[in-house]
Amino acid sequence: MDTSVFLPELDEAGAEAPPNWFGLNPEGGEESVEEIASKVYPNNKVIERKVKAWAIKKMAQQFSNWKKRLHQEYAQKEKIPTFTKAYEKIKDHWPAFVKYKTSDEAKKMSKINKDNAAKKEYHHVTGSDGYKVARPKWEKNENDLIDKRIVLEPLEWTERANTWFYRHGGTLDPETGKCIYTKDQLATPIKALQDAFKDMQDGKFHPDRENDELTRSLGNPKHSG
């Protein structure tokens, strides 16, 4: 199965996926990720690189959400989408996508995620509207700070850690862009997250699929909460 149809391949250095998948069309006169990043932080290659990585990270999250919607709205209900417009490219890969989503492996992962969710020590504060309302607010706050040339601490974090931070009540200092929290119980895991990413940058910690930065910080098996 060609997974690039459903999720772009991104490496640790932030290798980019095809621009047209993200609604960017340089050939049609639209700006590329590099052009957008260079305009936000002109003449600062280090921050420009971080902004680019941040933008690609957000795009990857959109792809992940898109796959979930495909599964919930079509595969799970045994429906087939109309392969036009946004769905045109997935027509030839749809059978493989459905096969995986209904496989024993996928069902096992789903059960593990549900079991882990039941063991959560920290509870999210996204409310009944969930990510649909919360995520745009997080992104607007980030974009507003970036427009002020403030370097965000989560630029160094993975999307999973970033999402966990926000959904459990974390926010950003409007003057420094540093991570702050609204609940005392978050002090320990957020400090642990900061240490984990620092250790990774210093070469003292090498995250992998089973033990990434968030897993290390929470001290429990990897889960989506």
Residue with the bigger pLDDT between 121 and 171: it is 171
Model confidence band, residue 176 (pLDDT cutoffs 50, 70, 90): very high
The whole-model pTM stands at 0.43
The phi, psi pair for 179, rounded to 5°, reads -75, 130
pLDDT of residue 225: 43
| pLDDT of residue 104 exceeding 80 | yes
In tens, the pLDDT along 56-76 reads 777 787 888 888 888 889 988
Closest CA to 60 of 24, 7, 130, 5: 7
pLDDT tens digits, 89-102: 889 999 998 998 88
Contact (CB, 8 A) for 146 and 152 = yes
Q: What ranges do the domains of the chain cover?
A: 14-102, 124-225
pLDDT above 70 (res 39): no
**Confidence category of residue 35, pLDDT binned at 50, 70, 90:** low
